[in-house]
Amino acid sequence: MTLDRLKIGETAVIKTVGGEGALRLRLLDMGLIPRTKVKMLKRAPMGDPLDIIVRGYELTLRADDAKNIEIEPLTGGEEK
């Protein structure tokens, strides 16, 4: 599953960060690295961009960029 498919209020752990060259480096520089928890905060009315919480701050991403981030959704007991 990729980050763009996470529902509002759900939490997940990043498994891999894809993309090529500068895009991948930019995503990693923003704190989107493997084994980091992310939570979907909200989406724009048309679904792009989306807001997530990562490492304690709010980050806005384009849906196309979020498609490069593979995640593992967490169940209720794992979110803490």
At 21-69, the pLDDT tens digits run 899 999 999 999 999 999 999 999 887 899 999 999 999 999 999 999 9
Contact partners, residue 17, CB within 8 Å, separation at least 6? 24, 27, 28, 32, 33, 34, 68, 69, 70
Q: Are the beta carbons of 60 and 51 closer than 8 angstroms?
A: yes
pLDDT band at 20 (very low <50, low <70, confident <90, very high): confident
The domains found in the chain, sorted by start residue, are 3-78 (2.30.30.90)
Length of the chain counted residue by residue: 80
Q: Using CA atoms, how far apart are residues 24 and 47, in angstroms rounded to an integer?
A: 22
pLDDT band at 75 (very low <50, low <70, confident <90, very high): confident
Would you say the pTM of this structure is higher than 0.75? yes
Contact partners, residue 80, CB within 8 Å, separation at least 6? none
